[in-house]
Amino acid sequence: MKTLYLKSENENTPSIAAGILKDGGTVAIPTETVYGLAANALNPEAVAKIFAAKGRPQDNPLIVHVQSLDEIPPLVEKVDERLPALAERFWPGPLTVIMKKSALVPDAVSAGLDTVAIRMPSHPAAREIIKACGFPLAAPSANASGRPSPTRAEHVKEDLDGRIDAVVDGGECEVGVESTVITLATEPPTLLRPGGVTPEELEEVLGKIEISHAVYEKLAEGEKAHSPGMKYKHYAPKAQVTLIKGSFERYEKFLKAHNESICAVCFEGEGKNFDEYIEYGRAKDSLIQAHNIFEVLREVDAKGYKKAFVRCPSIKGVGLAVFNRLIRSAAFRIIDLDFDIPVYGLTGQTGAGKSIVGEELAKYGFCIIDTDSLARKAVESPEVLSALKDAFGEDIVFDGKLDRALLASRAFASDENTKILNSATHPEITRLTVEEIHAAEKSGAKAAVIDAPVLFESPLTCLCRKIICVTADEEARLERIMLRDGISREKALERIKAQRSEEYYVSKSDIIIRNSDIDDTRDKTVKIAREELL
């Protein structure tokens, strides 16, 4: 279909848009939060077109938009007695209220739930169009499902051109993130999605409210979502997004430790420290960040970046809404670089005796983090798995299980492929490693040790105060590998040859332990542990 583009300031736009909507069509309209893709909320066939155009999962209900309070009683079982106070304070504006629905609301809108979400937008164009229609409008954000929500008519065009009947261009949306969603169907009321109206403001009217834990974190496997929209990866650009918490110094160091192109999505004034960056507002200004965030996520793609590391916003006030959107765009990958215990790296060629050194350090209160096992865990994460399937073929997953041998044969077939594997897995391995550092700190460990055979290829080096490298004669290494893994001399030699040289390891390390005798190695390690913990 050909999409018609209308300007909100044209006098006859509301009547043209209303005409399309009355005929059961779909029109993207501006609101003060984000652009919405509207259809007649009381017409299931029209509503079905919204789901089709967006590619939206059928179990994700829509918000019903009204422009006056008298439109509400027919839509609900009973008007909640707290609604007038909420309406008085926040409507028209960025608040959505959920109540038990009436039979008038089609199942297509509520996605089979017994509740309905209602909002009264303040944008004059939205209000005029609803008024001209004479019926309420169901309208989700006007993006393709999963993509960042649109805050300009051009964003709608990018995602939905040719899939919807019309777009009303009303300029840039003021708030920039979607409305706050609160349900009055629970006691106390529960905040399901943070937005332009903050939890504190809601409590001034409602008293104590719950905040659904899905606002901050991923739902547990199999857990039912109060708000179906909260269970999906969402708001995501094509680029891989990771949220980074902690000071600017650590953020900068961490980004610069990567030897691939990364876009720094940072606060105003910080971008000059990076080659590639986009700033998303002042560090302390959540309103500006909310206004900019979706546009910035789209810009990451427009500029062709494959990876973005985003500075974590404050979660105070409207900041909670910014955090909520970012953590979803990052598929919940957040790396918190804010820890106080010292971190060491432990590396060396295979068979050199790293594990003996690790054992000894553990006795002195060093927490050993085994990155090999974290790497195995990382490839099981749904996000990483889907990136790997895209890169190496759907058949690497068979019967829901990763075929590690097949993945290895493809991923290590060329340097280029290995790079792709690393790029897909490193952020998750790093996240898991940093999680372990925090756990070590919590449990009272004196230091954390990142035990990694390929430490130097990873940005984790930047977290290390010192790097300890264990070396041993090739003959001794050969014997150990054969014994440990039960393989032939030729196979063991092959593994050794596939690794970097001893000089490479030594030149990049701070402390070298030459392992020629077990007892001597233990003694040396004890000495190092004592010195480091002084």
Q: Is 202 helix (H, G, I), strand (E, B) or coil?
A: helix
Which letter does DSSP use for residue 313 in this model? P
Residue closer to Mg ion (CB basis): 142 or 387 = 142
Which single residue is written with the structure tokens 């709608």?
156
**Contacts of the segment 525-529: beta carbons below 8 A, 24+ positions apart:** 525/356, 525/357, 525/360, 525/361, 526/360, 526/364, 528/361, 528/468, 529/360, 529/361, 529/363, 529/364, 529/366
Give the interface segment with Mg ion, choosing from 89-97, 134-142, 307-315, 407-415 (CB under 5 A). Answer: 134-142
Q: What track of x and - describes contact with ligand TXA for positions 185 through 224 (by CB under 6 A)? A: -------xx-------------------------------
Residue 151: which of Mg ion, ligand TXA, none does it interact with, CB under 5 to 8 A by kind?
none
Q: Which of 179, 292, 458, 521 binds ligand TXA (CB under 6 A)?
A: 179
If one asks whether residue 140 binds ligand TXA (CB under 6 A), the answer comes out as yes
Nearest distance from residue 141's CB to Mg ion, in Å?
3
Main-chain dihedrals φ then ψ at residue 510, nearest 5 degrees: -100, -35
Which of the 8 DSSP states describes residue 172? S
Tokens of 111: 């996605």
Least distance from C-beta 280 to ligand TXA, angstroms?
Answer: 19
Return the residue of 18, 83, 113, 182 that touches ligand TXA, per CB under 6 A.
Answer: 113
Distance, CA of 42 to CA of 17 (rounded, Å): 17
Q: Where are the alpha helices (DSSP H) in 213-351?
A: 248-256, 286-302, 319-329
How far is it, in rounded angstroms, from Cα 193 to Cα 397? 34
User: Would you put residue 279 in left (φ > 0), alpha (ψ -120 to 50) or beta?
Assistant: beta
Q: How far apart are CA 28 and CA 50, in angstroms?
A: 10
Task: Give the three-class secondary structure for 514.
Answer: strand
Round to whole Å and give the CA distance between 439 and 432: 10
Rule CB under 6 A: which of 238-277 touch ligand TXA? none
| Residue 43 contacts ligand TXA per CB under 6 A | no
Read off the DSSP letter of residue 287: H
Give the DSSP per-residue string, 151-165: SSHHHHHHHHTTTSS
Residue selected from 181, 197, 209, 437 as contacting ligand TXA according to rule CB under 6 A: 181
Regarding 119 and contact with ligand TXA (CB under 6 A), the answer is yes
Instruction: For the CB of residue 116, give the shortest distance to ligand TXA in the complex, in Å.
Output: 6
Q: Which does 26 bind (CB under 5 to 8 A by kind): Mg ion, ligand TXA, none?
A: none
User: Which partner, ligand TXA, Mg ion, none, binds residue 429 by CB below 5 to 8 Å per kind?
Assistant: none
Site string for ligand TXA, 49-78 (x = CB under 6 A): -----------xxxx---------------
- Which of 13, 26, 40, 141 touches ligand TXA by CB under 6 A? 141
How many Å apart are CA 511 and CA 327, to the nearest integer? 38
- How many residues bind to ligand TXA according to rule CB under 6 A? 29
Window of 113-121, 162-170, 349-357, 412-420 that interacts with ligand TXA by CB under 6 A: 113-121
Position 141 contacts Mg ion (CB under 5 A): yes
Q: Which does residue 471 touch among Mg ion, ligand TXA, none (CB within 5 to 8 A, set by kind)?
A: none
26 lines the binding site for ligand TXA (CB under 6 A): no
Strands 447-451 and 343-348: parallel
Provide the binding-site residues for Mg ion, judged by CB under 5 A.
Answer: 141
Provide the binding-site residues for ligand TXA, judged by CB under 6 A.
Answer: 31, 33-34, 36, 60-63, 96, 98, 110, 113, 115-117, 119, 121, 139-141, 178-179, 181, 192-193, 227-230
